[in-house]
């Protein structure tokens, strides 16, 4: 029974793990530096500089990843006075924090299960391990392709639907003058989606190569 379930489980978990790994890589100060300083990234029409974005955005990520209290955000202020985030922004970031923490927790659990399945198959049935890795990688490629077509064909619909599925109605809609929009304009999310897709595809390619190498050792 386990021998039959393990490769299927591995194949189904691979796309999730590759996607979440890509998302986690995007949720880093390094990505923020690359994104904010790239040519063509839109400037803030309300005067926030690139240096300020590079100061405030990592603090926002730290709130999400380190699971900090909302006081961490409410204590942040602009150099000339005034709170960095208003109450609606803080409420939304708290919602995002909950989603982030649950996603990371589920990803860790999925990673442990996938590792156990992989080790079991590596010892008992390497051809099944190859099939599981290969199928999982192909599923990941198919997922990225499907999402990419949907996003490119109708980005606004894709963006709005994604947020509507995760957050209560209207809680994620803000004015252009709000700090969240100034830090993370729509172009940021479009670029992030492309980067996550590219990283997921790269991970899938690595797994396909790994499956091919394992298959060669089985045949030899």
Cβ(184)–Cβ(57) below 8 Å: yes
C-beta separation of 21 from 203 below 8 A: yes
What is the pLDDT confidence band of residue 61, given thresholds at 50, 70 and 90? very high
- Can you tell me the mean pLDDT for 24-47? 95
Give me the pLDDT at residue 219, please.
67
Residue (of 157, 217, 177, 205) closest to 14 by Cα position: 205
Q: Are 192 and 27 in contact (CB under 8 A)?
A: no
Residue 220 has pLDDT above 80, yes or no: no
- Which two structure tokens, joined as six digits, stand for 122? 């590596």
| pLDDT surpassing 80 at residue 83 | yes
Give per-residue pLDDT as tens, 120-136. Answer: 999 999 999 999 999 99
Q: Are 208 and 134 in contact (CB under 8 A)?
A: yes
For residues 56-65, give the mean pLDDT: 96
With beta carbons less than 8 A apart as the criterion, state whether 214 and 58 touch: no
The pair of three-digit structure tokens given for residue 119, joined into one six-digit string: 């080790």
Reply yes or no on whether the pLDDT at 19 is more than 60: yes
Asked if the model's pLDDT at residue 141 lies above 80, the reply is: yes
pLDDT at 189: 93
Q: What is the pLDDT of residues 189-218, one digit of tens each?
A: 999 999 999 999 999 999 999 999 998 887
- Residue % of the chain over a pLDDT of 70: 99
Q: Where are the domains of the chain?
A: 2-42+104-219
Candidates 127, 148, 123; CA nearest to 211 is 127
Residue 85 pLDDT > 70, yes or no? yes
Q: Which residues fall within 8 angstroms of residue 33, CB to CB, at 6 or more apart?
A: 54
Weakest mean pLDDT among 16-30, 71-85, 148-162, 180-194: 148-162
CA dist 181 and 195 (Å) reads 20
Give the pLDDT score at 109: 98
């Amino acid at each position: 029974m386990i021998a039959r379930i393990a490769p299927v489980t591995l194949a189904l978990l691979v796309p999730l793990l590759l996607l979440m790994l890509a998302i986690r890589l995007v949720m880093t100060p390094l990505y923020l530096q690359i994104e904010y300083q790239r040519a063509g990234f839109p400037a803030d029409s309300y005067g926030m500089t690139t240096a300020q974005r590079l100061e405030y955005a990592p603090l926002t990520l730290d709130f999400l990843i380190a699971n900090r209290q909302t006081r961490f955000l409410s204590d942040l202020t602009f150099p000339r006075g005034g709170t960095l985030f208003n109450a609606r922004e803080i409420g939304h970031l708290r919602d995002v924090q909950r989603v982030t923490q649950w996603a990371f927790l589920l990803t860790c659990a999925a990673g442990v299960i996938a590792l156990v399945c992989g080790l079991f198959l590596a010892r008992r049935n390497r051809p099944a391990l190859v099939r599981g890795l290969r199928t999982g990688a192909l599923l990941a490629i198919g997922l990225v392709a499907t999402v990419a077509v949907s996003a490119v064909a109708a980005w606004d619909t894709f963006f709005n639907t994604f947020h509507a599925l995760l957050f209560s109605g209207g809680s994620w809609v803000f004015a252009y003058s709000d700090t969240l929009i100034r830090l993370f304009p729509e172009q940021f999310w479009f670029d992030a989606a492309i980067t996550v897709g590219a990283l997921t595809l790269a991970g899938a390619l690595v797994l396909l190569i790994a499956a091919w190498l394992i298959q060669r050792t089985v045949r030899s």
